[in-house]
Structure 1
Amino acid sequence: MALLEITVAPLGTGDTSVSKYVAACHKVLAKEEGIQYQLTPMSTIIEGEIDRLFEVAKKLHHVPFSEGAMRVSTSMKIDDRRDKETTIEGKLASVKSKL
């Protein structure tokens, strides 16, 4: 499994709030199969097979357009390990065990 951190930001909407766009993205995520996801204060982390993550990222990028945005900037960071299984919970547990 790979992890994808994604931030989808509508630009030029005339409003500083983006929570309605984040909520709309999470409604899309809730319907997707084969992935796990977690909302963070600054982004969303998605766990799944790498090809599936790219499919989901494309869908999320289009969400603000369907909500009326005319420009969207999407940033992604991928953690794709081949030496061992990686999960959202596993990464969190690793850090917590060292605190």
Structure 2
Amino acid sequence: MAIAEITIIPIGTQSTSLSTYVADLHKELERHTDIAFQMTPMSTILEGPLDRLLDVIRAVHEVPFTNGAQRVSTSIKIDDRRDKPASMQQKMDSVARKLT
């Protein structure tokens, strides 16, 4: 299972506010029920098979274009660990154990 962090920035919009675009991205992510996602104030974390994540990233990258953006910048970081199972929760639990 892979974990990806994505940041999608619409450029060429009429406003500096991006919350409407973020809400539309969230709606698109909800359509993909076979992956897990967590939105943060600065990015979104996705979890699932790598091929599916790449398909979903492409789908959400297109959303700002369909909502009027003239340009979209998408940054992607991928953690694809194959030596043992990994998940968003496993990574958080690992750190929490080291804090106690």
Q: Which runs of 5+ in 1 are unaligned?
A: none
Alignment of 1:13-92 (within 5 A): 13-92=13-92
Q: Which aligned segments of 4 or more residues in structure 1 are displaced greater than 2 angstroms? A: none
Q: Which runs of 5+ in 2 are unaligned?
A: none
Equivalent position SS for 1:82? coil
Structure 1 length-normalised TM: 0.95
Q: What's the offset of the Cα at 1:56?
A: 0.1
Which shifted more, 15-24 or 55-64? 15-24
Residue matched to 1:8: 8
Aligned length in residues? 99
Which amino acid counterpart does residue 80 of structure 2 have in structure 1? Answer: D
CA RMSD of aligned residues (A): 0.9
For 1:92 and 1:23, how far apart are their aligned partners in 2? 26
Structure 2 length-normalised TM: 0.94
Deviations 1:41-89 (A, max 9, x none): 1100000000000000000100001111010000000000010111111
Equivalent position SS for 2:86? coil
